[in-house]
Amino acid sequence: MPIEPLALRGDVLILGGGIAGLWALAVLRDQGFDAWLLDTALPGGVQTLASQGIIHGGAKYALTGHLTRSAREIAAMPAIWRARLAGKGAPDLSSLGLLADHQYLWSTRQFGSRLTGFFADKIMQDRMHRIDRPPEALDTPAFDGQVYRLDEPVLDVPRLQQLLLRQTVGRVIAPLRLDALDNTARQLHGEWRGRMLRFDFEQVVLAAGKGNGALREMLGMAAKMQLRPLKMVMARGPLPALHAHCLGVSANPRLTITSYPLADSETLWYLGGQLAEEGICLSDAAQIENAREALAELLPWIDQKALRWACWPVDRAEVANQGCRPDHPTLLHDGDVHTLWPTKLAFAPLLADHLLDAIRDAGIRPRAETAGDFNAPLPARAATPWESATWN
Ligand SMILES: Cc1cc2nc3c(=O)[nH]c(=O)nc-3n(C[C@H](O)[C@H](O)[C@H](O)COP(=O)(O)OP(=O)(O)OC[C@H]3O[C@@H](n4cnc5c(N)ncnc54)[C@H](O)[C@@H]3O)c2cc1C
């Protein structure tokens, strides 16, 4: 017997279940809007799960010695996230916990003078504190640099993804095969779990990261998207926890290290910064060699013998900005189509608030739940880079 097609309707349809889509769904649902989210893969995001989870407070962007627009805009984000982590506002992240309450910035003696210019700015003085006792991973007589503590928490992104999915359960449909999206007819057609699916909507939100370009073209609009690749490196083994930027000669940190506890007392070091930007054309073996050399130079007391290594190539998807990092999160409005590129995971709350305003401006009103509504089951969880990578 043929399976019945599934016909659903909602006021707001979000496409893409990374941080931008999941946060927006949680906020819209909290405000009583009839919002749904569809993803063509397991939700959790591509960039989101690959991210280092740092809720930047601007330090990284102020490394030129003056506060850029990025630094000023992002400076408010740690406080917003901390409020959600304390259970204030939606989504409620009070059960999430943090990988680290703050992170560090360190510089070798060679580049220490650059921090002086950086500290000329009053705002950064309030957000960074020089510390005398470095964190465990740097606390050795061989360490010869300056360490600062930054007000930048580090999130457990896989847990955040699970928490947001549980809070929005019933309204996330994934993985979906998307056949057609038509904004004139305000309909999406696809297939989910062997059933043909038709979704009627009033407003559509494109939160599909790298997928936004193709979705915009499907809707007859210019893609307006740029991709900036990274090649992250992962090391696992008996490592101490460390969440820190190491300052080099450029305005980008030479190395940004975040760590994640794995099973069997192993710790994962996830390595980004300039290393990941400069290694995009290298083979995995060459990129891993670069990472080994950087660690040997910057943290020579770390024993690399027992470490295993892997690479993780991933594109950052952003609004087109001539290949340069956009200064701020993006929300484009094209009639009833809203396109989100947060640029940074940290910006997701700000973007969702702007979206909420746009949905209200479009005349969409909160409504009571309809009895007998379809409830989608909780989708399986998407794998993290360290679960998916091939380890050497
Ligand atoms: C290596 C790396 C490290 C980073 N570190 C940080 C950091 O420490 N701090 C920070 O603030 N930011 C960081 N960022 C930036 C941050 O990760 C991104 O800005 C953010 O995660 C983007 O989220 P998103 O929801 O827009 O996209 P994504 O996370 O890419 O999610 C897009 C989702 O859309 C789905 N999708 C794709 N096509 C379709 C379609 N046609 N229909 C429906 N769904 C679709 C995908 O399956 C995916 O689930 C980092 C980025 C990278 C790449």
* CATH 3.50.50.60 domain position(s) in the chain: 1-53+157-224+320-392
* CB of 336 sitting under 6 A from ligand 1: no
**pTM of the entire structure?**
0.95
> Two tokens at 152?
């930048």
> Two tokens at 134?
């470095």
Task: Give residue 122's pLDDT.
Answer: 59
Residue 361, classed as helix, strand or coil, is helix
Task: Give the pairing type, strands 145-150 and 337-341.
Answer: unpaired
CA of 316 to the centre of ligand 1 (A): 7
99-125 per-position pLDDT tens digit: 999 999 988 766 555 565 555 455 566
The fold for domain 99-154+227-318 equals D-Amino Acid Oxidase; Chain A, domain 2 (3.30.9)
369 has a pLDDT exceeding 90? no
Contact indicator for 198, 9 with CB cutoff of 8 Å: no
For residue 135, CA distances in Å to 5, 143, 149, 248, 275 come to 57, 11, 10, 19, 22
42-84 per-position pLDDT tens digit: 999 999 999 999 999 877 666 665 566 667 778 899 999 999 9
Residues 6+ apart with CB under 8 A from 164: 22, 23, 25, 26, 91
Task: Give residue 67's pLDDT.
Answer: 60
What is the DSSP secondary-structure string of 65-120? Answer: SS--HHHHHHTTHHHHHHHHHTT-SSS--TTT--SBSSEEEEEEGGGTTHHHHHTT
Strands (E), 78-222: 103-108, 128-131, 145-150, 172-173, 177-182, 187-192, 195-206
* CB of 52 sitting under 6 A from ligand 1: yes
Residue with tokens 């910035």: 105
Q: Whose CA is nearest to atom 9 of ligand 1?
A: 54
290-320 per-position pLDDT tens digit: 999 999 999 999 999 999 999 999 999 999 9
Summary mean pLDDT of the chain: 92
pLDDT bin (cut points 50, 70, 90) of residue 201 is very high
CA distance 251 to 173: 41
The fold for domain 1-53+157-224+320-392 equals FAD/NAD(P)-binding domain (3.50.50)
* CATH 3.30.9.10 domain position(s) in the chain: 99-154+227-318
CA of 195 to the centre of ligand 1 (A): 28
240-267 per-position pLDDT tens digit: 999 999 987 776 789 999 999 999 999 9
Q: Which atom of ligand 1 is nearest to the CA of 21?
A: 25
* CB of 314 sitting under 6 A from ligand 1: yes
* CB of 330 sitting under 6 A from ligand 1: no
CA distance 345 to 19: 7
